[in-house]
Amino acid sequence: MADKLLFEADAAPAFDARADGESLTGVAVSVHRDLPEVSDVWRAFQQGADCTAFQTFEWHEAWHRHIGAPAGVTPAIVVGRVRGRVAFILPFALEATRFARRLVWHASDLCDYNAPLLAPDFAEMVGDFPSVFSSILRQIGEETPFDAVLLSKMPDTVGRQKNPFLAMPTSLNPSGAYRATLGTDWDKYYAEKRPSLKRKRDRNKRKRLADFGPVSFTTPVDDRDRAANLDVLLEQKGKAFASMGVNNFLARPEVRAFFADLTLSPATRDMIHLSHLDVGSQMMATNLGLVFGGRYYHVLASYDAGPASKFGPGAVHLLELIAYAIRNRLEVFDFTIGDERYKREWSDIEVALHDYRAAVTLRGYLLGLPGLAVSEAKRLIKQNRVLWPIALKVRAALAGRKQPAEQAPVDED
């Protein structure tokens, strides 16, 4: 390990190679390369910790079994304790690219949010997090050297706390995220959130869909129906990706196995919510969401791009999902990562996502600069309301197909 971080997102502070975890910071740190050995601590801690559904042990265990381990990813799960109490868990991993080894968030590719798990009184337990983090990097690197740190898609808050990683220089991720604070009564919430003209359009959409057959919202219960729901969702989503010119990562067998595992496992049954909007006997719109910590996470959603798609089955389905969340006394509807217009219309909270990059070796520095430049360029384009629609059209044109009538914005009016 080098004695200095060669670069960070906006600055280059020294990496203190002399830091000695507990004696310097008061925090005892252990690093675990095997998920089973930390499962009991992780599962117990997540029950009361500030975290998101993407930091649950069940999500990470399934990801590692189907995706991480076959790809040679090594977990580096950090548990920090103060006076014997768990103060935080950092689900890190070491992954090897063709040219370098990087420290990243574990399961980062399929986590819409990457974040630590924090004790409710984390700020009082751990005062100087950058010093603790410096010690953690040294401890991990002494056993397995790495060239760079790349921690992406970090929300500015974790639960009710400020994300401690924002105490270090970070850059904004190209995408943001959006959340809606829910009420306790769907009819009242809907009337307050949607102007009368849009409510009228919603009714017209449902009426036009009904011309194709009875419209109903279903949450499947038994395994066969849940598996069928997932299969249709993945098929619909794959077609949508193709129309947009987006790589269909859901077509990878290991990714499909990951979602199938979560869908059918008794350990995650209460967390994984599948549903579909039926028009007649056809699943016209589908989704997979997560229910955790009083929040509904809108993770995957799609629709059939046939003749009825121009009447907004995705938009009607979204109304049913928000109503479902309110009926089940959930407090927040989390649209997660992505800057689609319909998310802004429903949300009252915009979440900034942050990336932390740091080189540990010259190799990491040289390989990291292009990634930083590409990320900044992507953000400039995605956050520009003129350039981003143009980029979407160009991407779809390059795919050789016309976008369906109800593409990503499920708020077509």
Chain segment 94-109, per-residue pLDDT in tens:
998 877 889 999 999 9
Across the chain, what does the average pLDDT equal? 86
CA distance 227 to 245: 27
CA distance 108 to 355: 12
**Span 24-42, pLDDT tens digits:** 468 999 999 999 999 999 9
Q: In the numeric block, which tokens belong to residue 290?
A: 């997560």
Of 233-242, 353-362, 384-393, the poorest mean pLDDT is in 384-393
Based on the number of CB atoms within 10 Å of its own CB, is 28 exposed (0-12), middle (13-18) or buried (19 or more)? Answer: middle
Based on the number of CB atoms within 10 Å of its own CB, is 72 exposed (0-12), middle (13-18) or buried (19 or more)? Answer: exposed
**Tally of CA atoms within 13 A in the half-sphere of 36 that contains its CB:** 1
**Tally of CA atoms within 13 A in the half-sphere of 262 that contains its CB:** 27
Phi and psi at residue 215, to the nearest 5°: -100, 125
**Span 181-210, pLDDT tens digits:** 999 999 999 999 999 999 999 999 999 999
